[in-house]
Amino acid sequence: MNTNDIITLALIGISAGIISGMLGVGGAIIIVPALVFFFGMTQHQAQGTSLAILLFPVGFLAFWNYYKQGYVNFKMALVVMLAFFIGGYLGSILAVHVPERILKTGFGILIILVGFRMIFSK
């Protein structure tokens, strides 16, 4: 991993944390597509790595199955996990000051955009 990769992974973690803290979504909705689009991971690799990032909050057994198949990148998971921790805190600080309607709209737009990107990308 080079410096650009670490910075990109940290930005993924911060973004996932802020959006999760603000909109109450799981971090994987940001992390999985980001690992696919920015790092060329397969869906399996992105999902396995995302589970490593969210290991204890999401579930050890699901992560373990991905790990046994070789679909987890621990170095990337650690960088994003640390940044995600900070981003979640920052996002929650922002969210408590944003009106409910704006949060609902933001959540809906995020789901639509990510869904279209996942469906229509290579």
**Residue range 37-84, pLDDT digits in tens:** 999 998 889 888 987 887 666 667 778 888 999 999 999 999 999 998
Q: Is the pLDDT of residue 100 over 80?
A: yes
Beta carbons of 117 and 32 less than 8 angstroms apart: no
Beta carbons of 91 and 22 less than 8 angstroms apart: yes
Tokens of 122: 């290579």
Tell me what percent of the residues of the chain surpass a pLDDT of 70.
95
Query: Cα separation of 51 and 15, whole Å?
Result: 17
Query: Cα separation of 1 and 9, whole Å?
Result: 10
